[in-house]
Chains A and B, each alone.
Chain A
Amino acid sequence: MLKYALIPLLPFTGFLIAGLLGKYLKEKSAYVAIAGVVGAFFLSLSAFLDVLGGTIVNENLYSWISVGTFQANVGFQIDQLTAVMLLVVTTLSSLIHIYSVGYMHGDKGYARFFAYLNLFTFFMLVLVMANNFLLMFVGWEGVGLCSYLLIGFWYEKKSAADAGVKAFVVNRVGDFGFVLAMLLIFLTFGTLHFADVFKAVATPAANHSYSLFGGEISVITLIALLLFLGATGKSAQLPLYVWLPDAMEGPTPVSALIHAATMVTAGVFMVARCAPIFSLSPVAMNTVAIVGALTAVFAATIGLVQNDIKRVIAYSTISQLGYMFLALGVGAFSAGIFHLTTHAFFKGLLFLASGSVIHALSGEQDMRKMGALKSKIKITHMVFIIGSLALAGIFPFAGFFSKDEILWSAYNASLLGRVLWVLGLTAALMTAFYSFRLIYLTFYGKSRINHDVEHHVHESPRVMTVPLMILAFFSVVIGWIGIPGAIMPNANLFGDFLAPLFPHVEHVAAESHWLELGLMMLSVLVALAGIRGAYTWYVKNPARPDYWADKFKGAYTLLLNKYRVDEFYNYIFVDGLVHKLAKFLYTVGDVKIIDGFLNWSAAAIGRTSEQGRKLQTGYVQQYAFTMGLGLVVLVGLYYILR
């Protein structure tokens, strides 16, 4: 058990050392941080091998809260799902820590940065290892905190500080759902431990239902929907995705680690962990699938026209997270986790590579001021293409296997699944288009780089390119652990590994292998069409995008302004609700009631003592006389009333 406890504790120790002694350690704090995370990686590897060998651990370390019938323990559950997440988190975290040594070099918050990254890793590991909802929530909030700290890492910049606050506040909305779900779970089942809850969902205790807004809703559906609300916040789904694009104000390694590979997938992980709850509620499952598919398309359309290199990838992340939820929603839990895994690698790669581009261009993020970088930063160019091919889902890169498994599961699920499959395919087309638009704008065409910047263009140091190459390697091969049965029988190692955890999904008969293969070809063709489209638009005929943008000006501006969702939320919630409510509470609640009462009571006491102070003349003899008189009166009263 100690081994498992050390997995989160090593990064935490790193956080304490780098955070408290960072002032003295300076550059060395990075080594402490890396040591902590790499240590956790090796322990995770060993834990993974244990699980592979059949050892599933679910043990309480100590009793944390014990109030009446409420019990919460600090305990870890290391099963197949956790093992996968442990490996993903620690691998990505280690590589990104190493990359950051180069990327953050010379930053004045160097030690602070590594301390935060370590703290984040700690909380993320707690999140995935927890064996009850409450401990998971600790990790959940902890990663949210670290996300806030790291988005606002350059806090002197107002936009960065604002983005941090935005992320935090939007996540609160989702967490509100999570907390309500936890309360409801405790109310219904009397426990928060995963194992007990999942055993109890099938018992009559769960057959309760509430009437809500005039309709009946079963408690399981309600719990699942509230949990999913939490997931939409953390995993940036409609309608709570707005914080993720702004989160790109943080340093790029943060975007890679937190806002692509790990933290934003916590929602997916949570839904997968709660699969026994979700799979009992068709309503919740359909909601998850629909929200996922809509998000996938919606975010992809915005990604088509964005000009900031990191924002394009951010919208792509939202879109890919949508895919994962689509998979979960149609019951293909292991496909969702598979996409989570492959996505972590290729999206982490894309973010780090874009960081390398930004690094080469001395901080420039606008793709309109890039171009023709192909020969100047060769390694970055190569890994970028690998990452984009993986993202676009081209055979045999990682994204192909996971994305097609999702699309195939959706196609097979139901009639609704077919509709969602069309949406998924549309999103795949756009994904291929915008990722190659990004590549063509950045690496090909004519150079639009500022003259001053152009002299300094240089490839990143080895400490940055090596993690890139490792990630690129994984972006190619990681998909091979989940080859679908249609291509090679019995090669879906990943699905088989996770299979014991999730409700059984019917295996589609062998006849449909040809259909599956056909659909695969179709999606690859669609992706190739997207790439081809990007090529004709941005390389062959660079005037064309402007022509079309001009022709469909309305649509183009709408996309460029991200459907004006931010403005809409601002108008309704921030200005409308919050400011008006705040103003009301301020003028009436604060000024009139609270201040009024306090001022009145203070004034009343003042007026009373104004009279009372006249009694205090300062003449000792008067006091003595009053005392004597009082004595006489009291004794007199005693004799009279006796």
Chain B
Amino acid sequence: MIPLSWYIVLSAALFTIGVVGVLTRRNVFIILMSIELMLNAANINLVAFSHYLQSLTGQVFVIFVITVAAAEAAVALAIIILLARNRGSVYVDEFNIMKG
């Protein structure tokens, strides 16, 4: 039996990797992937607690999160395609026209 803390550590590690990826990478695809990473870190947490508490509610949530993540990925990819088409680039540091 793997203890709960292992799952939590794994989830925290994954989440941290996601945050760092979002904050530091230039490529918008990698940022998107990092976001997925963060979402799945949360999913692991949910499943772990669901198992630990012997309640299925958490797992139902996970299914919702996966659905939302899929939809979000579709929208995000569409935006990225438009960005790439209009600006000829997928590097976020080149998109700073909204600066003050």
Q: Which of A614, A618, A624 has the most chain B CB within a 10 Å cutoff?
A: A618
**B22 near A619: Cβ-Cβ < 8 Å:** no
In the complex, which residue of chain B has the Cβ closest to the Cβ of A625?
A: B23
Q: A614-B100, A616-B98 are in contact. Are A621 and B19 (CB under 8 A)?
A: no
Distance A612 CA – B23 CA, assembled complex (angstroms) = 23
Distance A550 CA – B95 CA, assembled complex (angstroms) = 93
B52-94, CB under 8 A of A: which get 1 and which 0? 0000000000000000000000000000000000000000110
Distance A621 CA – B23 CA, assembled complex (angstroms) = 5
Distance A614 CA – B22 CA, assembled complex (angstroms) = 23
Q: Which of A614, A616, A621 touches B24 (beta carbons < 8 Å)?
A: A621
**B93 near A619: Cβ-Cβ < 8 Å:** yes
**A616 near B99: Cβ-Cβ < 8 Å:** yes
In the complex, which residue of chain A has the Cβ closest to the Cβ of B31?
A: A621
**B96 near A618: Cβ-Cβ < 8 Å:** yes
A613-642, CB under 8 A of B: which get 1 and which 0? 111111111001100100000000000000
A624 neighbours in B (Cβ, 8 Å) = 22-23
Q: Which of B22, B23, B24, B98 touches A618 (beta carbons < 8 Å)?
A: B98
Query: What's the nearest-Cβ distance from chain B to residue A51, in Å?
Result: 80
A333-347, CB under 8 A of B: which get 1 and which 0? 000000000000000
Distance A613 CA – B98 CA, assembled complex (angstroms) = 11
Distance A434 CA – B92 CA, assembled complex (angstroms) = 96
Q: Which of A613, A615, A619 touches B96 (beta carbons < 8 Å)?
A: A619
A625 neighbours in B (Cβ, 8 Å) = 23
In the complex, which residue of chain B has the Cβ closest to the Cβ of A612?
A: B100
**A621 near B92: Cβ-Cβ < 8 Å:** yes
Query: What's the nearest-Cβ distance from chain B to residue A15, in Å?
Result: 59
B93 neighbours in A (Cβ, 8 Å) = 619, 621
**A621 near B22: Cβ-Cβ < 8 Å:** yes
Q: Which of A613, A615, A618 touches B97 (beta carbons < 8 Å)?
A: A618
Query: What's the nearest-Cβ distance from chain A to residue B35, in Å?
Result: 11
B100 neighbours in A (Cβ, 8 Å) = 612-618
Distance A621 CA – B24 CA, assembled complex (angstroms) = 7
Q: Please provide the chain B residues from 1 to 56 with a CB less than 8 Å away from any CB of chain A in the complex.
A: 19, 22-24
Q: Which of B23, B92, B96 touches A628 (beta carbons < 8 Å)?
A: B23
**B92 near A619: Cβ-Cβ < 8 Å:** yes
Distance A620 CA – B100 CA, assembled complex (angstroms) = 13
B24 neighbours in A (Cβ, 8 Å) = 621
Query: What's the nearest-Cβ distance from chain B to residue A609, in Å?
Result: 9
B22 neighbours in A (Cβ, 8 Å) = 621, 624
**A617 near B23: Cβ-Cβ < 8 Å:** no
A-B contact count (CB 8 A): 32
Query: What's the nearest-Cβ distance from chain B to residue A629, in Å?
Result: 10
In the complex, which residue of chain B has the Cβ closest to the Cβ of A620?
A: B92
A614 neighbours in B (Cβ, 8 Å) = 100
A613 neighbours in B (Cβ, 8 Å) = 100
Distance A615 CA – B98 CA, assembled complex (angstroms) = 12
Distance A612 CA – B22 CA, assembled complex (angstroms) = 25
Distance A628 CA – B15 CA, assembled complex (angstroms) = 13
In the complex, which residue of chain B has the Cβ closest to the Cβ of A621?
A: B23
**A617 near B99: Cβ-Cβ < 8 Å:** yes
B96 neighbours in A (Cβ, 8 Å) = 617-619
A616 neighbours in B (Cβ, 8 Å) = 98-100
**B99 near A620: Cβ-Cβ < 8 Å:** no
Query: What's the nearest-Cβ distance from chain B to residue A472, in Å?
Result: 84
Query: What's the nearest-Cβ distance from chain A to residue B19, in Å?
Result: 7
B92 neighbours in A (Cβ, 8 Å) = 619-621
Distance A628 CA – B99 CA, assembled complex (angstroms) = 20
Distance A465 CA – B19 CA, assembled complex (angstroms) = 100
Distance A188 CA – B93 CA, assembled complex (angstroms) = 79
Distance A104 CA – B92 CA, assembled complex (angstroms) = 78
B95 neighbours in A (Cβ, 8 Å) = 618, 620
Q: A619-B93, A620-B92 are in contact. Are A628 and B98 (CB under 8 A)?
A: no
**B19 near A628: Cβ-Cβ < 8 Å:** yes
In the complex, which residue of chain B has the Cβ closest to the Cβ of A609?
A: B100
Query: What's the nearest-Cβ distance from chain B to residue A68, in Å?
Result: 54
Q: Please provide the chain A residues from 119 to 168 with a CB less than 8 Å away from any CB of chain B in the complex.
A: none
In the complex, which residue of chain A has the Cβ closest to the Cβ of B22?
A: A624
In the complex, which residue of chain B has the Cβ closest to the Cβ of A615?
A: B100
Distance A619 CA – B25 CA, assembled complex (angstroms) = 12
A587-620, CB under 8 A of B: which get 1 and which 0? 0000000000000000000000000111111111
Distance A618 CA – B100 CA, assembled complex (angstroms) = 7
Query: What's the nearest-Cβ distance from chain B to residue A610, in Å?
Result: 10
A620 neighbours in B (Cβ, 8 Å) = 92, 95
In the complex, which residue of chain A has the Cβ closest to the Cβ of B25?
A: A621
Distance A417 CA – B67 CA, assembled complex (angstroms) = 106
Distance A617 CA – B19 CA, assembled complex (angstroms) = 20
In the complex, which residue of chain B has the Cβ closest to the Cβ of A616?
A: B100
Q: Which of A615, A617, A619, A624 has the most chain B CB within a 10 Å cutoff?
A: A619
Query: What's the nearest-Cβ distance from chain A to residue B24, in Å?
Result: 7
Query: What's the nearest-Cβ distance from chain A to residue B97, in Å?
Result: 6
In the complex, which residue of chain A has the Cβ closest to the Cβ of B93?
A: A619
Distance A625 CA – B93 CA, assembled complex (angstroms) = 14
B23 neighbours in A (Cβ, 8 Å) = 621, 624-625, 628
Distance A182 CA – B100 CA, assembled complex (angstroms) = 60
Distance A628 CA – B23 CA, assembled complex (angstroms) = 10
Distance A154 CA – B97 CA, assembled complex (angstroms) = 60
Distance A612 CA – B93 CA, assembled complex (angstroms) = 21
Query: What's the nearest-Cβ distance from chain A to residue B28, in Å?
Result: 10
Query: What's the nearest-Cβ distance from chain A to residue B34, in Å?
Result: 11
**A618 near B19: Cβ-Cβ < 8 Å:** no
Q: Which of B24, B98, B100 has the most chain A CB within a 10 Å cutoff?
A: B100
Distance A552 CA – B98 CA, assembled complex (angstroms) = 86
Query: What's the nearest-Cβ distance from chain B to residue A226, in Å?
Result: 62
B98 neighbours in A (Cβ, 8 Å) = 616, 618
Query: What's the nearest-Cβ distance from chain A to residue B70, in Å?
Result: 22
Distance A351 CA – B23 CA, assembled complex (angstroms) = 92
Distance A618 CA – B99 CA, assembled complex (angstroms) = 4
Query: What's the nearest-Cβ distance from chain B to residue A613, in Å?
Result: 3
Distance A613 CA – B92 CA, assembled complex (angstroms) = 20
Closest 4 CB pairs of A and B: A618-B99, A618-B96, A616-B100, A613-B100
13 contacts between A and B (CB under 8 A): A613-B100, A615-B100, A618-B98, A618-B100, A619-B92, A619-B93, A620-B92, A621-B22, A621-B23, A621-B24, A625-B23, A628-B19, A628-B23
Can you add 4 more A-B contacts, CB < 8 Å, to A613-B100, A621-B24, A621-B92? A612-B100, A618-B97, A618-B100, A621-B22
